[in-house]
């Protein structure tokens, strides 16, 4: 009797292990296409960039200038490049301004469209439509809006000030170009964060609001005591994702100003593109990519750690 039970137990255990192995093979089989694409288009290019960063590799091979290993020369040159520091500081300024404004604005919009009112789906579509529109197309539209002569923004300012405001050259002024791109970027990207916050709001149990209301909590008190604590994980994701997107700033800058005027809108990715595809210095551009990747990685990890510590306290 005991032997039969032992055999049955052993047979069941081996069958369970066999099932788990089969599930594991199935999981790897379904994951293989995605892993292959990640390897080809993400892992392999980064490893190549890391290798090129220690060479004088050029985009177009030159028989008179063969590729050579030059050690840390690219990194040393980069650390003495004032344009790199200007580009990096612009990235930090952009992230410091855009991330909190966009996050707060997205949360406000999410709470607005989370209400059960007529045409709420229409408003959600309107707020989200800039996100799904190609960035190049949106940037060209805003290029005409910022036009110093007949642009809508200058015309609106002229109308609101009864003709007293002079036309502003938004994209050619070193003082106005970067704030204009910030404003445009907040408008274009806020719909993405709004959708994430909307999903988080709809996941909050209604019983929590009912209990707070029974305790006499007003709308602001319910927002501070129920909404914000329940959205902590969502906020962490939104802040980290928005920070990474802010440091990847390229398309709108390239379309609107090409990094000018006087490097006022220069960013690290714009500088990388110029060095790699215009100056043909692949090795130097790769050193920019590697160093910038490490900086963004450290910032993201610190940001995530800080936000998680704030959540635990």
Does residue 143 belong to any structural domain of this protein?
yes
pLDDT at 117 over 80: no
pLDDT band at 275 (very low <50, low <70, confident <90, very high): very high
For 111, the 3-state DSSP assignment is helix
pLDDT at 313 over 70: no
Residue 289 Cα distances to 199, 235, 307, angstroms: 34, 28, 27
Verify that 304 and 252 share a domain, yes or no.
Answer: yes
Does residue 68 belong to any structural domain of this protein?
no
Domain total in the chain: 2
CA distance 34 to 36: 5
Name the percent of the chain lying above pLDDT 90. 35
Verify that 297 and 202 share a domain, yes or no.
Answer: yes
Verify that 95 and 244 share a domain, yes or no.
Answer: yes
Tell me the pLDDT tens digit for each residue of 86-116.
Answer: 999 999 999 999 999 999 999 999 998 888 7
Verify that 47 and 82 share a domain, yes or no.
Answer: no
pTM of the predicted structure, to 2 decimals: 0.84
Q: What is the CA angle 191-192-197, rounded to 5?
A: 90
Q: What is the pLDDT of residue 11?
A: 58
Cβ contacts of residue 180 below 8 Å, gap of 6+? 146, 170, 171, 256
Verify that 251 and 108 share a domain, yes or no.
Answer: yes
CA distance 162 to 263: 34
φ/ψ (deg, to 5) at 87: -65, -45
pLDDT at 266 over 90: yes
Q: What is the pLDDT of residue 226?
A: 87
Does residue 128 belong to any structural domain of this protein?
yes
Verify that 163 and 219 share a domain, yes or no.
Answer: yes
Does residue 188 belong to any structural domain of this protein?
yes
Tell me the pLDDT tens digit for each residue of 16-51.
Answer: 788 888 888 888 898 899 999 999 988 898 899 999
Domain containing residue 41: 1-52
């Amino acid at each position: 009797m005991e032997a039969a039970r032992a055999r049955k137990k052993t047979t069941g255990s081996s069958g369970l292990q066999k099932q788990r192995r089969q599930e594991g093979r199935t999981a790897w089989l379904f994951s293989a296409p995605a892993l292959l694409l990640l390897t080809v288009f993400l892992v392999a290019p980064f490893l190549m960039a890391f290798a090129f960063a220690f060479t004088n590799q050029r985009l177009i091979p030159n028989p008179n200038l063969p590729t050579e290993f030059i050690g840390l020369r690219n990194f040393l040159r980069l650390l003495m490049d004032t344009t790199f520091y200007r580009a990096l500081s612009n990235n930090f300024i952009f992230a410091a301004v855009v991330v909190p404004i966009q996050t707060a604005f997205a949360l406000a919009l999410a709470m607005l469209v989370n209400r059960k009112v007529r045409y709420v789906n229409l408003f959600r579509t309107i707020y989200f439509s800039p996100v799904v529109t190609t960035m190049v197309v949106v940037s060209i539209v805003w290029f005409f809006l910022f036009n110093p002569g007949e642009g809508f923004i200058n015309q609106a300012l002229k109308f609101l000030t009864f003709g007293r405001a002079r036309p502003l050259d938004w994209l050619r002024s070193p003082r106005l170009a970067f704030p204009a791109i910030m404003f445009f970027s907040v408008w274009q990207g806020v719909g993405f964060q709004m959708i994430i916050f909307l999903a988080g709001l709809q996941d909050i149990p209604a019983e929590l609001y009912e209990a707070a209301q029974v305790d006499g909590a007003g709308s602001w008190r319910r927002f501070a005591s129920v909404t914000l604590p329940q959205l902590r994980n969502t906020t962490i994701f939104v802040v980290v994702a928005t920070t990474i997107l802010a440091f990847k700033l390229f398309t709108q800058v390239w379309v609107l100003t090409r990094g000018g005027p006087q490097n006022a809108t220069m960013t690290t990715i714009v500088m990388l593109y110029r060095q790699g595809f215009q100056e043909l210095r692949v090795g130097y551009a790769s050193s920019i990519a590697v160093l910038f990747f490490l900086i963004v990685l450290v910032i993201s990890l610190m940001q995530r750690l800080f936000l998680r510590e704030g959540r635990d306290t």
